[in-house]
Structure 1
Amino acid sequence: MDTRRSWSGSPWEERAGYCRAVRVDDRAWVAGTAPFADDGSVVAPGDMAAQTRRCLEILTQGLADVGAEPGHVVATRMYVTDITLAGELSEPHREAFGGNPPAATLVQVAALVHPDVLIEVEAEAVVRDR
Structure 2
Amino acid sequence: MPRRIEHTSGTDWEAEFGYARAVRVDNTVRVSGTVAVEDGETVAPNDPYGQASHIFEVVDEALDALDASPEDVVVTRVYVVDFDDWEPIGRAHREFFGDVKPATTLLEVASLPAPDLCLEIEVEAVAKDA
Instruction: After TM superposition, give the deviation of residue 91 of structure 1 in Å.
Output: 1.1
* Correspondence for 2:16: 15
Residues 1:105 and 2:105 are matched in the alignment: yes
Which consecutive residues of structure 1, in runs of 5 or more, have no partner in the other structure?
A: none
Instruction: After TM superposition, give the deviation of residue 2 of structure 1 in Å.
Output: 2.1
Q: Partner of 2:120: helix, strand, or coil?
A: strand
* Correspondence for 2:64: 64
Structure 2 counterpart of 1:31, which letter?
Answer: S
CA distance in 1, matches of 2:52, 2:92: 6
Residues 1:91 and 2:91 are matched in the alignment: yes
CA distance in 2, matches of 1:12, 1:32: 11
TM-score normalized by structure 2?
0.95
Identical counterparts, % of pairs: 43
CA distance in 1, matches of 2:70, 2:78: 15
Runs ≥4 in structure 1, deviation > 6 angstroms? Answer: none
* Correspondence for 1:127: 127
Report how many aligned residue pairs link the two structures.
Answer: 128
Instruction: After TM superposition, give the deviation of residue 99 of structure 1 in Å.
Output: 1.2
Conserved in 1, the CA contact under 8 Å of 2:31 and 2:63? yes
Conserved in 1, the CA contact under 8 Å of 2:68 and 2:128? no
Residues 1:28 and 2:23 are matched in the alignment: no
CA distance in 2, matches of 1:98, 1:89: 14
CA RMSD of superposed structures (Å)? 0.9
Which consecutive residues of structure 2, in runs of 5 or more, have no partner in the other structure?
A: none
* Correspondence for 2:47: 47
Q: Partner of 2:94: helix, strand, or coil?
A: helix
